[in-house]
Amino acid sequence: MEGERGEEPEEERSKKEGDLKMNMLTRNGNTWEMNFGIPSMEHLMRRMFDLAGADRAGLAASRMEVEVRDADVLIRMPAPGCAPDNFDIEVVNDFVTVRVKRECDCADNPAGEKHYILRERSFEEFEESVKLPVGVKGHEASAKYVDGVLELTIPREDAKKNASHVIKVK
């Protein structure tokens, strides 16, 4: 845990966790500079191949959460910083595909001169597909976007009825 401080030297911990040590606003001559730890080679390579986010609960890795319930199937997919218009959802039989295209929210940043000191977030277009284990009614699907998570609800075709069946063995 990064929050637990004082157990080992700061530099060692930063290197081990691959975290960024930010010595913010270090005075150098007449200008202010931001000094950061050198990113690891692994991080640079992952960045080069646009895999920087592959190990997060974000976009690059398949992070679709599929929950099969009695009446429907709930799919949850993290996609922070999007708008409802950014999603293109397709249900074909029991195959669900979600395409996400979002734009950099740089416009949200303070105006004036700015530059990236660290850029880990990815704004690449991506899509994810999943084959559902049960039949669904694609035309009755509904979706909502809450707290950066897409929630897709699709009613089941063979929704379980709460009836018990007693079978006698002859």
Partner 1 sequence: MKNDMTKKAAEETKTPEIETLEMRPVVDIIECEEGVTLFFEVPGANSKTVDVEVNDGVLYVNAKSSLKRDGRQIVYKRAFQISDAVDVEKISAKTVDGVLKLVLPKSERAKVHKIKVGC
54: left (phi over 0), alpha (psi -120 to 50) or beta: alpha
Q: Which of 119, 124, 127, 144 binds partner 1 (CB under 8 A)?
A: 119
H/E run at residue 43? helix 41-48
Tokens of 65: 């959460």
For partner 1, which stretch binds (CB under 8 A), given 42-50, 107-115, 135-143, 154-162? 107-115
Give CA–CA dist 145/78, Å, rounded.
10
Give CA–CA dist 88/90, Å, rounded.
7
Q: Which of 28, 31, 162, 164 binds partner 1 (CB under 8 A)?
A: 31
Nearest to 141 by CA among 64, 72, 87: 72
Q: Per CB under 8 A, does 105 bind partner 1?
A: yes
Question: Residues 128 to 157: which contact partner 1 by CB under 8 A?
Answer: 145, 147-149
Q: Per CB under 8 A, does 19 bind partner 1?
A: yes
CA-to-CA separations, 32 to 23, 38, 115, 170, in angstroms, rounded: 11, 19, 13, 87
If the CB atoms of residues 15 and 76 are measured against partner 1, the closer one turns out to be 76
For partner 1, which stretch binds (CB under 8 A), given 71-79, 124-132, 134-142, 155-163? 71-79
Binding site for partner 1 (CB under 8 A): 1-3, 5, 10, 17, 19-26, 30-32, 34, 52-53, 56-58, 63, 65, 76, 78-83, 105, 108-110, 112-122, 145, 147-149
